[in-house]
Amino acid sequence: MSVKDLETRERLLSAAARLFAERGFAKVTVRDICRRARANVAAVNYHFHGKTGLYEEVLRSAIRTMKGTTEAAQRAGADRPPAEQLETFIAIFLQKVVEGRNSWIHQLMMHELSDPTPALDMVVDEVLRPRMAYLAEIIARLIECREDDPRVARCLMSVQAQIHARFVRNPIADRLVPDRPVTADGVAAIARHITRFSLAGIRATAAA
């Protein structure tokens, strides 16, 4: 591939990422992308075999970043007790969410969640399943049970629900909870609260 072709490909990816993040997959046309990328309309087919292929390539770029968050939490929690691993994961995840709240990746994922495409399966398989598996392992160690124990799945959903309640866009919660949206300075306090609340619930589940 020539240097010119590589430059065109990168311009298409950059333009598509911003447009898909702004409008979602369905509301962006190939002409919109090529106009912003200063490329011929045929370039999308040449480089990506169509709009869907281009969208999937954009999503793969987002997936690489999202996987990095899980990997960073795993590294930071390595060889620590499970309670510390849980707090480390929550703190790192929330920090990344706050830092990237206005990024194209966050905006893209909000569109994907509200109006999913078939490419959502890539996010589930490559990002969410490994992330949930790591949290399930931590929770199973806290309960002292197998990871396929139904209590693990219930506790896992409870932890995730607390995170999403504070950080996923929700106009009703924004009106009812006075300290939304959470600022970078407030992340540590929220992470500690979610961890304490979660550990108490997990331990009560184990005792029951």
Which one, of 28, 48, 55, 44, lies nearest residue 118 by Cα?
55
Structure tokens given for 162: 């607390």
Counting the structural domains of the chain, the total is 1
Q: Considering the domain boundaries, does residue 151 fall inside one?
A: yes
Question: Would you list the DSSP string of 2-18?
Answer: -HHHHHHHHHHHHHHHH
Domain of 186, CATH number, reads 1.10.357.10
Domain-embedded: residue 2: no
Q: 185 lies in a domain?
A: yes
Residue 168 lies in a domain: yes
* 150 within some domain: yes
Structural domain of residue 85, as residue ranges? 59-207
54 within domain boundaries: no
Q: Classify residue 14: in a domain, yes or no.
A: no
**Nearest C-alpha neighbor of 194 from the set 95, 123, 104:** 95
Residue 10, in any domain of the structure: no
Q: What is the pLDDT along the chain (208 residues), one digit of tens a residue?
A: 687 889 999 999 999 999 999 999 999 999 999 999 999 999 999 999 999 999 999 999 999 999 999 999 999 999 999 999 999 999 999 888 888 777 899 899 989 988 999 999 999 999 999 999 999 999 999 999 999 999 999 999 999 998 887 666 667 766 776 665 566 677 888 889 999 999 999 999 999 8
Is 179 within 8 Å of 186 (Cβ atoms)? yes
Give the predicted TM-score (pTM) of the model.
0.85
Residues 6 or more apart from 173 whose CB is under 8 A from it? 165, 166, 180
Q: Using one digit for the tens of pLDDT, what is the confidence trace for 48-91?
A: 999 999 999 999 999 999 999 999 999 999 999 999 999 999 99
Who contacts 107 (Cβ-Cβ below 8 Å, separation ≥6)? 21, 22
Which among 100, 71, 79, 76 has a CA at the least distance from the CA of 88? 76
- Distances from the Cα of 201 to the Cα of 40, 137, 156, 193, angstroms: 57, 16, 11, 12
Please tell me the predicted confidence (pLDDT) of residue 72: 94
